[in-house]
Amino acid sequence: MYNNTRTSKRPSLGRSRQQRFGRRSTSSGSNGVNQSLFINKSADLPVELPYAPTHSFDDFGLNNQVVDRVIRHGYVTPTPIQDRAIPVVMAGSDVIGLADTGTGKTAVFLLPLIHKMLSDRSQKALIIVPTRELAVQIDEELKEFAYGLPIYSAVCIGGNGYGHQDRSLQRRPQFIIGTPGRLKDHFERRTLHLSDVQNLVIDEADRLVDMGFIKDIRMLVGKLPVNRQTLFFSATMAPEVKNMVHSFLQSPQTISVKKRETSVNVDQDVIHFTDNFHKMTLLHELLGTDECKKVLIFGKTKHGVERLCDALIERGFSASSIHGNKSQSQRQRSLNEFKDNKTQILVATDVAARGLDIPNVTHVINFDLPQSYGDYIHRIGRTGRADQKGKALTFVQ
């Protein structure tokens, strides 16, 4: 939180918002994205009736031990994607699930797969995700659903040494969760065997495409048995994603529960600055306001993110950072502190723009411009979640 002993250094808040943060502009930023796209008031959404599921967790046909753990996990009724997709997954069909983060889609593949593995100990699943943080998040949820059951997992991600991962793989885990690069490394080192994997999950497929992982994914999938069940999840269906669908799935059923664009719940505006000193002063002023309770700030580069985080800490703010130069344990610690409200501010590169479910983020601030409008939408999707309102502000020179 802001250190009150340093309030004498804060700029005056007496000017109007337009005077302090600059006037709106419709010109393009240095990345070619029209600045007017960063300005939009959140809509006054009509009140929606609660979703009425057609199933309960009891009648999906899940193992009773799995159902008990679902209830213990806090789930009462299935979410729309769970209600519609779990029966299809249980039936053994390939699935294309179009849903945003935070809709409960992780349970769509974890619950049927745990059920399948309790029934057949030879079953094995490979879960491919774009980021280390998402892999850890899925593994944590798996451990809660499978607590006390003979279910084992291995998390194969960069930023950690190979020793622990090698030992986890030697236990013949039913679940292997990882990022493409590290999974490929393990396969080439012969510590990962894929010929007996009967279940494939590709999560956040559009982000995997954006990050340039297609070649590694194709290599990994090419080593799997042809006869398998493939579950494919994505927020969008860009042409490259559609190509993956046709390559990897057989007669899939498509289930979409995307109700509206993420940005509908988010008030969006720009902040104009003249130079770097002015930019930092405006950020300092903004973060010192009472409304900025839990803030996610995006920067472009790893070094820039770390410098910004250090500068905020020097100014008395409680901040931590996530970027590719940090070890996985450091990144996870920063993320957990932010989730648990131990820090007010998380400064991150785009590794935090997708897949992470962080509750109650009040503001997303684009300190550096995103590379594309698609990246912008993913960034601001970290706020305004679960029908709450959020705010997104973008610095523009």
Q: What is the pLDDT of residue 44?
A: 53
Q: Which fold has domain 57-256?
A: Rossmann fold (3.40.50)
Task: Give yes or no for residue 3 having a pLDDT over 70.
Answer: no
Residue with tokens 């236990």: 171
Lowest mean pLDDT among 26-35, 215-224, 243-252, 281-290: 26-35
Please, what is the average pLDDT of the chain? 85
Is residue 5 predicted with pLDDT exceeding 90?
Answer: no
Q: Do 57-256 and 4-45+261-396 fall under one CATH topology?
A: yes
Average pLDDT estimate for 231-249: 85
Whether the per-residue pLDDT at 296 is higher than 80: the answer is: yes
Fold of domain 4-45+261-396: Rossmann fold (3.40.50)
| Domain locations along the chain | 4-45+261-396, 57-256
- Each residue's pLDDT tens digit, 120-161: 999 999 999 998 889 999 999 999 999 999 999 999 998 888
Residue identified by tokens 């049927």 is 112
The confidence score (pLDDT) of residue 389 equals: 82
Provide the pLDDT for residue 17.
41
